Chain A
Amino acid sequence: MTMTESPPATETASSVSSPAVAGLYEALTTTDHKRIGRLWLRSGALMLIGAVVLGVLLGIERLDSDSTDVFGGENAFFQMWALYRIGLALLVAAPLFIGLATVIVPMQVGSTNIAFPRAALAAAWGFLIGAAIMIASVLATGGWGAVDQASAAERDAVALTLVGMGLVVISLLLASLSIATTVVSMRVKGMTLLRTPLFAWSMLVAASVWLLTLPVLLANLLVAYVDLHNGPGTFGGGLSGDLSIYAQIAWVVEQPQVYAFAIPVLGVLGSIVPVAAGVRAARHGLSMGLIGFFGLLSVGAWAQPYFQPTNDALVRYDEKFVFIAFGLAAILPILGSLGGAADTLFRGRSNVDGLPAAHLLGALGGAVLLLAGTAAGVARVVEPLELGDRITVSGVMNLVLFAAIASAIAGIWFWAPKIGGHQLSPMLGRGASLAVVGGAVLLGTAQIVNGFFETSNSPLVAPVEDAADALNVVSLIGIVLIGLGVLDLVAALAMAMRKGETGADDPWGGQSLEWSTVTPPPAGNFAEAPALVISEAPLLDDAPEEPSDEGEES
């Protein structure tokens, strides 16, 4: 064995006796992509619960704009508001998709493992540590720049927040690198890039966009960190007003960059719909092109305050043609993908005749949310509407990021047998999908409409119209509904683990290679190497085009 080879999974914990210690040893040293992916998924789910609780508290706080009873002060309110927004993107949406991809993508492309498994494991643990530092430091009066002048202790806490966030970003980048390399260089023979399953392809596009844009966020954090300690105080270190660090990094949760976290929504849709319909996807190549186009339009690192001149002689980025064009065009690939999905469903002998499967509901719901988010994004770039600094920005963000979360939940239901070896309750799945999608619609739409009543995006600016208060109540109902959906997810996972039944190998009549192996997949994924791939749906090449109904019954 050379230094670079991964040890077999069976080698671990031979020298430890206690099951707990053995489990910890396994978790810290495993090179099995399925275990690493599950670690990401657990982390993402934990952060999702935290984000929803925080969202509910923020919703309650917004009900009374005259006081800050819940958080006990304007600064704490602002920091928690910022934590919710950044956390939803970096601590929830991205990790959930990375977890799904770490488990599923290697199997989809016929590989025995992920590329650079040790780097993937380091990324998973680095993410957890970074997230813990980030959250703890925000709770310890840190965050992304206080609204008042900060004390020395607060500056230290802010510095710690930047370190934690930097570690989170580096971990996301490392995991993205592993996934992208797996898709590019570890596909089974015969699987050309054009025959790559849509989820794997969407993760390649998403990982590439993240690898090209999140380093710019890292650069922002670096500049702010150095400025905070030794700089002139004009690059975030000033910690007040327009110079706050949050103002500099908010681009990551605003359009077009926020769309980057939802790129895999189209891949999940493209992987689930043909299976639900029991036919090959219509125009696979076109779907790949649409996902690539959406990825291109979501590259948004250039649209940020660091590059935004305050001098009137210079053109602001949100007045430039490219920003407006990106905003207008982003809706097109979503419309195209939904059209393709509808075409596939109509052509197929779908099992949508009765109650649609949970994963289909979630995949379609996620795509519709993304459509709503990009449509609201169109309104955002239309200059006469003047929605740029209004709460509409938060509406777009919530719709897009909850589209990603709903889609990831659909993916968890769909691929559950390959992730944990169990199938999840279809009824709870439908409940979770409907609650998350419905809640996100209420939350996002209320905020978008609220923007037309001139409500500011800043949580510290009181609404100017009475209607805003009613819309804040609707937003609160939305996030509570999302919370119920998350509870559904937790209950389904707990029930599946308690029952302990092993899921079927291929409960849905799958079309890509992950369904050709047993449940749960063994170390190395496949008992024997997959047959030569000759199309984008290899399991349909040697099987009749009949879907299985086993999934709903088992």
Chain B
Amino acid sequence: MTATATGLPSPEVARPRTVLVGTMFASATAFMAFVGVVLVYVSSRAEARADGAEWFADGTVELGPSGFIFATLILSIFTVQWAVQAVNNDDRKNALVALALSGLFGAAVFNQLWFIINDSGFALSANNAQFMFFVVLGTFVVFMISAVAFVVLTFLRALIGQFGPRKADSVAAAAFYWNTVVAMYAIAWYVIFVTK
């Protein structure tokens, strides 16, 4: 190539969406960690079934309550995206309401998970099935806590006016991570509660 850069203006260093890009990488990492745990569950279950053993006893893992959690999380997808849209439109009130609702949905998820775990009557050391049930849901709880913390932090930053149409990356990043955690639950729900 013979083209020359001499005489061209010195450009500024680009800084597009660093927080969002970093969050996307972090979300992919978190997702893979969760998938890693779920796959241990799946392979352990496949092994047990191939040996002709029962995985969960009938009636111990119910689809109903877990479906409510899924529905709650589906609703939360709309609220976090509502927050992103509101910040892009410079609508602070709507952004705060949407973020607060998302956090509330997160709290509701913890409440419902607590019910499911208590209702199951499982013990961590009982057998492979019950052990993996706790490990998968426990890992999900850890990621859910981090997602709620991210949303609460974003809410507080929105409260003091740190975001606007030109500074909406952090809200979009929080929404992206939240949606990733919802995707995690979708996998856990299908694997544990639907296919059991």
Contact residues of A with B, CB < 8 Å? 2, 110-112, 115-116, 173, 176-178, 180-181, 184-190, 208, 211-213, 215-220, 222-223, 226-227, 230-232, 234-235, 280, 301-302, 306-311, 313-314, 528-535, 538, 540-542
Which residue of A has the minimal Cβ distance to B48? Answer: A311
Q: Which of B6, B9, B36, B127 contacts A220 (CB 8 A)?
A: B36
Judge whether B8 is part of the interface by a CB distance below 8 angstroms. yes
B183 vs chain A, min Cβ distance (A): 15
Contact A313 B25, beta carbon cutoff 8 Å: no
Residues of A within 8 A of B40 (CB): 219-220, 223, 235, 306-307
- Known contacts A177-B25, A215-B30: A186-B124 contact under CB 8 Å: no
Q: Which of A184, A280, A533 contacts B21 (CB 8 A)?
A: A184
Contact B5 A180, beta carbon cutoff 8 Å: no
Contact with A along B140-161 (1 / 0, CB 8 A): 0000000000000000000000
Residues of B within 8 A of A116 (CB): 18, 22
Contact B13 A301, beta carbon cutoff 8 Å: no
Given contacts A226-B138, A311-B47, A534-B3, could you give 18 more A-B pairs where the C-beta distance is less than 8 Å? A111-B13, A176-B25, A186-B15, A188-B14, A219-B34, A222-B37, A226-B134, A231-B124, A232-B125, A232-B127, A232-B128, A302-B39, A306-B43, A309-B47, A529-B11, A530-B11, A538-B5, A540-B1
Judge whether B135 is part of the interface by a CB distance below 8 angstroms. yes
Contact B13 A188, beta carbon cutoff 8 Å: yes
Within 8 A of A (CB), among B28-51: 28-30, 32-37, 39-40, 43-44, 46-47, 50-51
B193 vs chain A, min Cβ distance (A): 20
Contact A310 B128, beta carbon cutoff 8 Å: no
Tell me which of A181, A302, A311, A529 has the highest count of chain B C-beta atoms within 10 A of its own C-beta. A181
Contact B15 A216, beta carbon cutoff 8 Å: no
Contact B125 A231, beta carbon cutoff 8 Å: yes
Q: List 20 A-B contacts (CB under 8 A).
A: A112-B13, A173-B29, A176-B25, A181-B18, A185-B17, A186-B15, A189-B13, A190-B11, A211-B29, A213-B32, A215-B29, A215-B32, A222-B33, A222-B135, A301-B32, A306-B43, A308-B43, A309-B47, A529-B13, A531-B5
Contact A177 B26, beta carbon cutoff 8 Å: yes
B188 vs chain A, min Cβ distance (A): 13
Contact A235 B131, beta carbon cutoff 8 Å: yes
A348 vs chain B, min Cβ distance (A): 16
Q: Which of A115, A217, A529 contacts B12 (CB 8 A)?
A: A529
A352 vs chain B, min Cβ distance (A): 24
Judge whether B59 is part of the interface by a CB distance below 8 angstroms. no
Contact residues of B with A, CB < 8 Å? 1, 3-6, 8-18, 21-22, 25-26, 28-30, 32-37, 39-40, 43-44, 46-47, 50-51, 124-128, 131, 134-135, 138-139, 162
Contact A231 B131, beta carbon cutoff 8 Å: yes
A110 vs chain B, min Cβ distance (A): 6
B46 vs chain A, min Cβ distance (A): 7
Contact B26 A185, beta carbon cutoff 8 Å: no
A248 vs chain B, min Cβ distance (A): 9
- Known contacts A184-B21, A222-B139: A313-B125 contact under CB 8 Å: no
Residues of A within 8 A of B29 (CB): 173, 177, 211-212, 215
Contact A532 B10, beta carbon cutoff 8 Å: yes
Which residue of A has the minimal Cβ distance to B34? Answer: A219
Which residue of A has the minimal Cβ distance to B2? Answer: A541
Q: Which of B33, B35, B37, B43 contacts A309 (CB 8 A)?
A: B43
Residues of B within 8 A of A184 (CB): 21
A312 vs chain B, min Cβ distance (A): 9
Which residue of B has the minimal Cβ distance to A181? Answer: B22
Contact A177 B22, beta carbon cutoff 8 Å: yes
A65 vs chain B, min Cβ distance (A): 35
The 6 closest A-B pairs by CB, nearest first: A219-B36, A215-B33, A216-B36, A189-B11, A311-B50, A215-B32
Residues of A within 8 A of B139 (CB): 219, 222
Residues of B within 8 A of A176 (CB): 25
Tell me which of B10, B15, B34 has the highest count of chain A C-beta atoms within 10 A of its own C-beta. B10
Contact A529 B10, beta carbon cutoff 8 Å: yes
Contact A313 B22, beta carbon cutoff 8 Å: no
